[in-house]
Chains A and B, each alone.
Chain A
Amino acid sequence: MDSITEGIRKAFLLIFSLDTELLGIIFLSLKVSGIALVIATITGLPIGALVGLKRFPLRRVTISLMNTFMGLPPVVVGLFLYLILSRSGPFGFMGLLYTPSAMVIAQSILAFPIVASLSHSAIVNVDPIIKQASMTLGATPFQVTLNMMREARYGIISGVIAAFGRVMAEVGAILVVGGNIAGYTRVMTTTIALETDKGNFELAIALGVILLMISLIINMVLHLIQRKGMVKSGI
């Protein structure tokens, strides 16, 4: 019990002293997860819209795959990426293994199905009359799609934030492909795992507190957006 209270006390000292190592780890975590989220959104949102608005062969299979991949085990993603990025793998020549780029790829793969699937759900839940109303006013198919996405914006934003929450808390995949190299690929979650193993609880608890705070902020933003959407919709 003493070690926990002492750990918490030292953790807060680390946070308030703006420890450079701590700041570096936080910055890298946010950078890797932020870039991964942008990639997942740019790719996942159009796919979600396409699956939600168009009819094409294997559409149902695509929806099932997107939903299944939402629960993709991070370690399996890490293993898969490790095999293709390692020196003997098909993309080994790119030298990406144990770099932040590999971590971004891993997190993008994990975030993509969440963005695509939740965007798809948000778009299919938009009243179909909106699509028809847009068409009657002379909208092109692309403009109809944009309007449907605008109507689904609160659901889409919720999906993007949920994906950010997942990648920020992720440890398995980035540990495998990032290698947890100090000052280079070490992020908050991998540091917590490592420092806990070493019995060095101060840094682990400090990072745990910060992760919790980020998670809390994400949830508050999510709640606010949903609430705003409900108020605007008159629910």
Chain B
Amino acid sequence: MSLVLSLTDIWKSYNGKPVLKDCSYSFGAGIYVLMGPNGSGKSTFLRICTLLENPDEGKINYFSDTHLSLPLLRGELKWGVFSENNIFKKRDIELKRRITLLLPRVGVFNTTVFKNAAYGLKIRGMGHDEIEKKVNTVLEFVGLSHKKNHNAIMLSSGETQRLGIARAMVIEPEALFLDEPTASVDQENTEIIENIILNMKEENGSTVIIATHDTSQAERLVGRVLIMQNGKIIEKTF
């Protein structure tokens, strides 16, 4: 299950200052590690890929090897400039539900760990038994099953990141974007999170794109290294 994502000539500015300049890249299945200094546009890039923000100009195409009947697979979901109101069109919601972004700050809901992890399934209208089964599996996977009835706000920062990953994993996204998932966690939790990501790639064949500052993380995750430079993405070759 993978999603191919192709970005062409993406431009994005904030207050007249360009962040992404004619940025193009195509992602297939596998792990991509996106690096670059603070303010280089990594987060903006991820937010545009996941439809949280609109590009000023450019096109994004999504192609998938599953659900072949959906129009987006025929490359029809293209846009040049599109307005803020457009972002919530029904077709965009369908697409949004196949990709997800783990924000640098997870944003846990003030409820139990279980209900946090179940949120994505609940809003998709999944039945209670199926939710319970899937969430329990994912919480076991990220090592949080013993805390499933705890309030998520009380978790440590490492556990919070793992819950964020569980919340994203449970919806089985075809493409998972992670914005600095290990920036605020200790070595032990970093290793746990990296193992979860590696397992996801191996078990689901997902497209995983991680923004990070950690140069050694790319080696550990055996991913393609992309550098965000002057508003463009450059693939680093070794």
A129 x B103 contact (CB < 8 A): yes
Interface assignment of A127: CB less than 8 Å from any CB of chain B: yes
A151 to B105, CA, bound (A): 17
A134 to B167, CA, bound (A): 10
Closest 7 CB pairs of A and B: A133-B107, A129-B107, A138-B97, A137-B120, A136-B101, A143-B123, A138-B96
Q: Apart from A129-B105, A140-B88, what 16 extra A-B contacts exist at CB < 8 Å?
A: A129-B103, A132-B103, A132-B107, A133-B108, A134-B119, A136-B100, A136-B102, A136-B103, A137-B171, A138-B100, A139-B123, A147-B119, A150-B111, A232-B110, A233-B153, A234-B153
A143 to B167, CA, bound (A): 16
Interface assignment of A141: CB less than 8 Å from any CB of chain B: yes
A153 to chain B, nearest CB (A): 8
Q: Is the contact region of chain A dominated by helix, strand, or loop, or is it mixed?
A: helix
Instruction: Point out the residues of chain B lying under 8 angstroms from A150, CB to CB.
Output: 109, 111
| Of A127, A129, A234, the contact of B154 (CB 8 Å cutoff) | A234
Which of B102, B108, B123 gathers most chain A CB within 10 Å?
B123
B110 x A136 contact (CB < 8 A): no
Q: List 17 A-B contacts (CB under 8 A).
A: A129-B103, A129-B105, A132-B103, A133-B103, A134-B119, A136-B50, A137-B119, A137-B168, A138-B97, A140-B88, A140-B123, A141-B88, A143-B123, A147-B119, A232-B110, A234-B151, A234-B153
Interface assignment of A130: CB less than 8 Å from any CB of chain B: yes
Chain A interface: which size bin?
20 to 34
Instruction: Point out the residues of chain A lying under 8 angstroms from B101, CB to CB.
Output: 136
Within A221-235, the residues touching B (CB, 8 Å) are: 232-234
Interface assignment of B93: CB less than 8 Å from any CB of chain A: yes
Instruction: Point out the residues of chain A lying under 8 angstroms from B153, CB to CB.
Output: 232-234
Instruction: Point out the residues of chain B lying under 8 angstroms from A133, CB to CB.
Output: 103, 106-109
Interface assignment of A135: CB less than 8 Å from any CB of chain B: yes
Interface assignment of B29: CB less than 8 Å from any CB of chain A: no
Complex interface bits, A100-135 against B, C-beta within 8 A gives 1, otherwise 0: 000000000000000000000000000101101111
Instruction: Point out the residues of chain A lying under 8 angstroms from B93, CB to CB.
Output: 138, 140
Within A135-177, the residues touching B (CB, 8 Å) are: 135-141, 143, 147, 150-151
B162 to chain A, nearest CB (A): 15
A136 to chain B, nearest CB (A): 5
Interface assignment of B73: CB less than 8 Å from any CB of chain A: no
Give B108's nearest chain A residue, CB to CB.
Answer: A133
B107 x A138 contact (CB < 8 A): no
Give B100's nearest chain A residue, CB to CB.
Answer: A136
A151 x B109 contact (CB < 8 A): yes
Interface assignment of B124: CB less than 8 Å from any CB of chain A: yes
A141 to B153, CA, bound (A): 24
Interface assignment of B72: CB less than 8 Å from any CB of chain A: no
Complex interface bits, B156-176 against A, C-beta within 8 A gives 1, otherwise 0: 000000000001100100000
A138 x B124 contact (CB < 8 A): yes
A135 x B110 contact (CB < 8 A): no
Complex interface bits, B74-114 against A, C-beta within 8 A gives 1, otherwise 0: 00000000000000100001001100111101111111000
Complex interface bits, B167-204 against A, C-beta within 8 A gives 1, otherwise 0: 11001000000000000000000000000000000000
Complex interface bits, B105-141 against A, C-beta within 8 A gives 1, otherwise 0: 1111111000000011001100000000000000000
Q: A129-B107, A151-B110 are in contact. Are A135 and B52 (CB under 8 A)?
A: yes
A133 to B101, CA, bound (A): 8
Instruction: Point out the residues of chain B lying under 8 angstroms from A139, CB to CB.
Output: 123
Q: A140-B123, A232-B153 are in contact. Are A135 and B96 (CB under 8 A)?
A: yes
Instruction: Point out the residues of chain A lying under 8 angstroms from B106, CB to CB.
Output: 129, 133
Instruction: Point out the residues of chain B lying under 8 angstroms from A232, CB to CB.
Output: 110, 151, 153
